[in-house]
Amino acid sequence: MSVEIKTNSISTIRNTYSHIKRRFGDKPATRYQEASYDIEATENFHYKPLWDPQRSLNDESRTSIKMKDWYQINDPRQFYYGAYVGNRAKMQESAETSYKFCEKRNLISGLDESIHLKILKYLVPFRHLNLSANMNNSMIAGDSVATTVAQAHIYQSMDHLGMGQYLSRIALIIDGNTGTALNTSKTFWIDDPMWQPMRKLAEDSMVVKDWFELSLLQNLLIDKAVFAFVYEAMDEWFATLGARDISMLTEFMRDWNKDTTRWIVAVVKTAVAESDENKEKLQAWVNLWEPQVFSALVPIAQETVGKDALVNVQNELAALLKKTGLQSTESTL
């Protein structure tokens, strides 16, 4: 038996918007489709930007990667704004539970001062790398064309801000909300020789002009190598020091890394598959940047997990690059 509610059914005159119909045919559309396809202006721009008079607004030539249709690059997670914040709200909810639990039980603040110092020296400074990632992705969101591409980058941008804030909170737990631990941690980032190649990489990334190159560098090469290094290898290392509880506070980052790998691999893969020219350019950027990412990780690894742990990281990145149709340079570490 089922209960049947009679409703006044009214026939519709169309299934979806015309621009969605042109793309997907005359049928009801998903929310991702109606939110993400062909809502961005494409023509008849009135004025050349004062900040880039050679190009127009929404100009496809802000990257040298070429796509016949930029909407071919989309998001396997189907994130439009509502789906995105819904997903991250769930992630933050469990993060919040972990932070509260750690604070209540003094799991972090109760650790040895020498461990605190290691956390401030090797883990917390990565919040600065979150900030350059935040800036880079904001630029890409502003420069890229097609909503399917641009929206995912503003999500990346805000995610990195959020993760930088989570790392900062670890230091605030350590210093009892005074800021002194964050000050200490920042001096490592600024002055410690071990951090300088990483800080240089962050600053170098902020002057990359081609947004696709920047997305490849930031969201694939840097993020995937750094997250595997910090939140897998270094996480194990902290556990051996008796600080396994730190994992609870970085679970968000591991979940996030899994979630965004799916996306960035799809982005790069689609651009590689489009043409040999794209593939050559992207491979050249991998050749240029991948060794720099690993050289920046080496000094940190040497002081912590040991250089050998980077081989694993490199293999994982190589496997991802292979999925996109590109090759790791497999530079000697």
Partner 1 sequence: MTATKKLNLKQKYQYLTRDMDWEPSYQKKSDIFPLEEFEGIKIIDWDGWEDPFRLTMDSYWKYQAEKEKKLYAIFDAFAQNNGHQNISDARYVNSLKLFLSGVSPLEYAAFQGYAKVGRQFSGAGARVACQMQAIDELRHSQTQQHAMSHYNKHFNGLHDAPLMHDRVWFLSVPKSFFDDARSAGPFEFLTAISFSFEYVLTNLLFVPFMSGAAYNGDMATVTFGFSAQSDEARHMTLGLEIIKFLLEQHEDNVPIVQQWIDKWFWRGFRLLSLVSMMMDYMLPNKVMSWKEAWEVYYEQSGGALFKDLERYGIRPPKYQDVANAAKEHISHQLWSTFYQYGQATNFHTWMPKKEELDWLAEKYPDSFNKYYRPRFEHWDELQKKNQRYYNPTLPQLCQVCQVPVLFTETDDPSSISHRDTVYKEDRYHFCSEACCEIFGNEPEKYVQAWLPVHQIYQGNCGGPELPGVLSDYYHINLGEDNLEFSGSPDEKRWNEMKGIKPSKKDDAA
Pick from 26, 203, 236, 308 the residue near partner 1 by CB under 8 A.
203
Q: Does 281 bind partner 1 (CB under 8 A)?
A: no
In angstroms, what is the minimal distance from the CB of 151 to partner 1?
Answer: 6
Packing angle, helices 309-324 and 246-274, rounded to 10: 40
Q: Does 150 bind partner 1 (CB under 8 A)?
A: yes
**83 burial type by CB count under 10 A (0-12 exposed, 13-18 middle, 19+ buried):** middle
Structure tokens at 174: 């350590």
Residues 6 or more apart from 146 whose CB is under 8 A from it?
40, 70, 71, 73
Pick from 23, 24, 77, 138 the residue near partner 1 by CB under 8 A.
138
User: Which residues from 14-43 bind partner 1, rule CB under 8 A?
Assistant: 14-19, 31, 34-36, 38-43
Q: Does 3 bind partner 1 (CB under 8 A)?
A: no
Q: Does 135 bind partner 1 (CB under 8 A)?
A: yes
Closer CB to partner 1, 155 or 326, in the complex: 155
User: Length of the chain in residues, anyone?
Assistant: 333
User: Which residues from 151-180 bind partner 1, rule CB under 8 A?
Assistant: 151, 153-155, 157-159, 161-162, 164-166, 168-169, 172, 174-180
Pick from 27, 46, 68, 104 the residue near partner 1 by CB under 8 A.
46
Q: Does 248 bind partner 1 (CB under 8 A)?
A: no
Pick from 1, 3, 13, 54 the residue near partner 1 by CB under 8 A.
13
Q: Does 69 bind partner 1 (CB under 8 A)?
A: no
